[in-house]
Amino acid sequence: MKRSAAKAQQARSRYAITALFGEFADRTTEQRYRESVEHRLARHLRHVLGVWGALWLAFSLSDYHHFGLGPTYFSLLGCRMAFVALLVACVAWIRRRPGLATHGGLVTTLALLGFTQVFSVYFMSDDDEIRWLAAATVVFLMGVFVFLPNRTVLSATVALYGSIGTLVCVGINISETSALRMGILALMLLMPCIAGGMASYRFEIVRRGEFAALEQAEAEIERRRALESELRRQARTDPLTGASNRRDYEALFAQESRRARRYGRPLSVCVLDVDHFKHVNDTYGHGAGDTALIHVADICRTEMRGADLLGRIGGEEFLLILPETSRDDAVEFAERLRLRLGAATIQTGAHVFQITVTLGVTALTASDQDITDLIHRADGALYAGKDGGRNQVRWA
Ordered domains of the chain (ranges, CATH): 2-219 (no CATH), 246-395 (3.30.70.270)
**Cα separations in angstroms, 77 against 57, 69, 83, 126:** 8, 10, 10, 18
Q: Which secondary structure element, helix H or strand E, spans residue 271, and what is its range?
A: strand 267-274
Q: Is the pLDDT of residue 275 over 80?
A: yes
**Are the C-beta atoms of 334 and 393 separated by less than 8 Å?**
yes
Name, in order, each residue with C-beta under 8 angstroms of 159's C-beta and a sequence gap of 6 or more.
141, 144, 145, 192, 193, 196, 197
CA gap 86, 80 in Å, rounded: 10
Dihedral angle sign, alpha carbons of residues 238, 243, 246, 247: positive
Average pLDDT score over residue span 141-145: 91
- Using the 8-state DSSP alphabet, how is residue 353 labeled? E
- Is pLDDT above 70 for 82? yes
Per-residue pLDDT at 69? 87
Q: What is the pLDDT of residues 213-244, one digit of tens each?
A: 999 999 889 989 988 887 777 778 898 999 99
Note the pLDDT of residue 70. Answer: 87
The model's confidence at residue 67, banded by pLDDT at 50, 70 and 90, is confident
- Reference 158, options 128, 118, 126; nearest CA is 118
